[in-house]
Copies of this chain bind each other. A is one copy, B any other.
Amino acid sequence: MTRVRIDLFISLDGFTSTTGHAPENPMGEDWGRLTAAYAATRTFHERVFDDTSGNGTTGIDDSYAAAFFEGVGAEIMGATMFGLHSFPDDPDWKGWWGGQPPFGTPVYVLTHTAPRPSIPMEGGTTFHFRNAAIEDVLAEATEAAGGLDVRVGGGVGTARDFLRAGVVDHLHLMVAPILLGRGTQLWDDLPSLDLTHKVTTEVAESGTIHVNFAR
């Protein structure tokens, strides 16, 4: 059965996005600190850096990194994550991920702007652009996933929209042992997920705390 999954990076003080965004630094100033343990994993080295020489950690962080890539049949993301807001006037913009994005599935990009044609990429990724209610996009993505999971990839605003709608089956938080002091608070005005989901916690060798909410 298709589950709706979200994976988010978050700091000890609850901030899940970073400030200081700029075209040359689209994820913000603190993104490196927030994601350091994940970027250090062998899975990340292999899947994102294309580094198959055995570099990277192989502990608990890596097992979550590997699970991240497993069993996803379709992806949903917000316009900001795709970069539509950074390059609004470039009809040839194809996202931040180069010619062969790591998704390998249909990716539904939520947008309030005029529809644009779908973009097939190498490696199985096709970007579709949808100006529709998240429930409708989710239904389409679920159909496309063919029994696999649908991941809501981000950004934080999009993830919070899906959490607020109560449609997320599994939320995985990677809590970095750092304090950011600024950004977007993940939990502000969200329903109490611990009342509907089972919470489990685990600490990786890096000190990263993995918190899972699953129903």
Binding site for B on A (CB under 8 A): 12-14, 177-179, 181, 186-187, 190, 192-194, 199-203, 207-209, 211
Assess A194 versus B177: contact at CB under 8 Å? Given A13-B187, A187-B14, A202-B203. yes
Looking at chain A's contact residues, the main secondary structure is loop
Query: How many protomers of this protein does the assembly include?
Result: 2
Choose from B194, B207, B208 the contact partner of A12 (Cβ within 8 Å): B194
Task: Write out the residue numbers on chain B whose beta carbons fall within 8 Å of the beta carbon of A186.
Answer: 13
Task: Write out the residue numbers on chain B whose beta carbons fall within 8 Å of the beta carbon of A201.
Answer: 177, 203, 207-209
Assess A177 versus B199: contact at CB under 8 Å? Given A12-B194, A187-B13, A187-B14. yes
A163 to B38, CA, bound (A): 30
A200 to B190, CA, bound (A): 28
Tell me if B200 and A207 are in contact (CB < 8 A). yes
> How far, in Å, is A14 (CB) from chain B's closest CB?
5
Task: Write out the residue numbers on chain B whose beta carbons fall within 8 Å of the beta carbon of A211.
Answer: 12, 177, 209
A209 to B207, CA, bound (A): 11
> How far, in Å, is A186 (CB) from chain B's closest CB?
8
Task: Write out the residue numbers on chain B whose beta carbons fall within 8 Å of the beta carbon of A14.
Answer: 13-14, 187
> How far, in Å, is A189 (CB) from chain B's closest CB?
9
Q: Chain B: which residue is nearest A199 at the CB level? A: B177
> How far, in Å, is A166 (CB) from chain B's closest CB?
14
